[in-house]
Amino acid sequence: MLTLVGLGLYDEKDVTQRGIDAAKAADVIYIELYTNAWHGKDGLEKIVGKKITELMREDLEQGAGKIIDEAKTKDVVLFISGDPLIATTHSTLLSDAKHAGVETRVVHNASIVSAIGETGLHVYKFGATATVPFPEKTGGKLPESVYGVLASNKAAGLHTLLLLDITTEKCMTPNEAMSTLLELEKTRGEKIFTEETDVVVFARAGAPDAKIFFGTVRDMKDVDFGMPPMVVIVPGKLHFSEREFLESRLKGQL
């Protein structure tokens, strides 16, 4: 059996009892941390009382067949940050395992995709999500597709959630993401992301020191937002209750 278990938002305190029980009963336990900065691996190993093997990107993207084969004869648990089915890699793993005749199970958890409701923005008014990639992932080219997502969400009055890229060495900062978008604006010139655009930065959702920032790009581009993980949100058309929440409760935090 292959069980995908969500780790929740920040550290081992976010893992559900159902997830811990699945791991305690498993023959093999893996954890995938290359798609997010999640902070509780050592604590989780202590709670579960077993070794948890960390997988690298290639283990899951090219080597998924090995994990699926292993799950034919053993109980395999794979821990994934947030909710396990938010990234397409993990949905593909689940459907490949089902096709291979492996029994599967999913233990859900909170995701950044739901946590963004804490900003006061209505979760149902978000359009497509995009990830702002590091230049080395795009061969040095500006990520035009991110600008495209922003433009079409804006045209539909929808908010845009921008996830920030991560590699084994570094996490993209909101400042780098804003500067990439300002560069794109220079080449595209459609007034989608300018110094006057309002943005929300949600830092460390779920952590004791979680913080929400709101302001124009001009005000926000040099702010030190602290430790990852973080997201940038570009609000679309604001309902008066969303604006009131952001302006009255959050502007003072800058």
Ligand X SMILES: C[S@@+](CC[C@H](N)C(=O)[O-])C[C@H]1O[C@@H](n2cnc3c(N)ncnc32)[C@H](O)[C@@H]1O
User: Which residue from 36, 119, 180, 197 is in contact with ligand X, where contact means CB under 6 A?
Assistant: 36
Distance separating alpha carbons of residues 22 and 5, to the nearest angstrom? 8
Helix (H, G, I), strand (E, B) or coil at 248: helix
Asked if 81 touches ligand X (CB under 6 A), the answer is yes
What's the min distance (Å) between Cβ of 148 and ligand X? 19
Site string for ligand X, 2-31 (x = CB under 6 A): -------xx---------------------
What's the min distance (Å) between Cβ of 163 and ligand X? 4
Asked if 173 touches ligand X (CB under 6 A), the answer is no
Could you give the C-alpha distances from 124 to 81, 117, 183, 186, in angstroms and in order? 22, 9, 29, 31
On the CB side of 89, CA atoms within 13 Å amount to 18
Residues 118 to 157 in contact with ligand X, rule: CB under 6 A: none
Helix (H) or strand (E) holding 70: helix 64-73
What's the min distance (Å) between Cβ of 115 and ligand X? 6
Asked if 93 touches ligand X (CB under 6 A), the answer is no
User: Which residue from 111, 160, 173, 197 is in contact with ligand X, where contact means CB under 6 A?
Assistant: 111
Could you give the C-alpha distances from 221 to 9, 128, 173, 188, in angstroms and in order? 25, 23, 10, 20
Site string for ligand X, 176-215 (x = CB under 6 A): --------------------------x-xxx---------
Looking at the Cβ atoms of 25 and 254, the one nearer to ligand X is: 254
Distance separating alpha carbons of residues 225 and 222, to the nearest angstrom? 9
Instruction: Check: CB of residue 131 under 8 Å from CB of residue 162.
Output: yes
Looking at the Cβ atoms of 82 and 127, the one nearer to ligand X is: 82
What's the min distance (Å) between Cβ of 72 and ligand X? 26
Distance separating alpha carbons of residues 214 and 19, to the nearest angstrom? 35
Looking up tokens 């921008």, which residue turns up?
162
List the 160-164 sheet strands across, edge first. 130-132, 160-164, 230-234, 198-203, 211-216
What's the min distance (Å) between Cβ of 126 and ligand X? 14
Looking at the Cβ atoms of 57 and 72, the one nearer to ligand X is: 57
**Where do contacts with ligand X occur on this chain (CB under 6 A)?**
9-10, 35-36, 80-83, 86-87, 111-113, 163-164, 166, 202, 204-206, 229-231
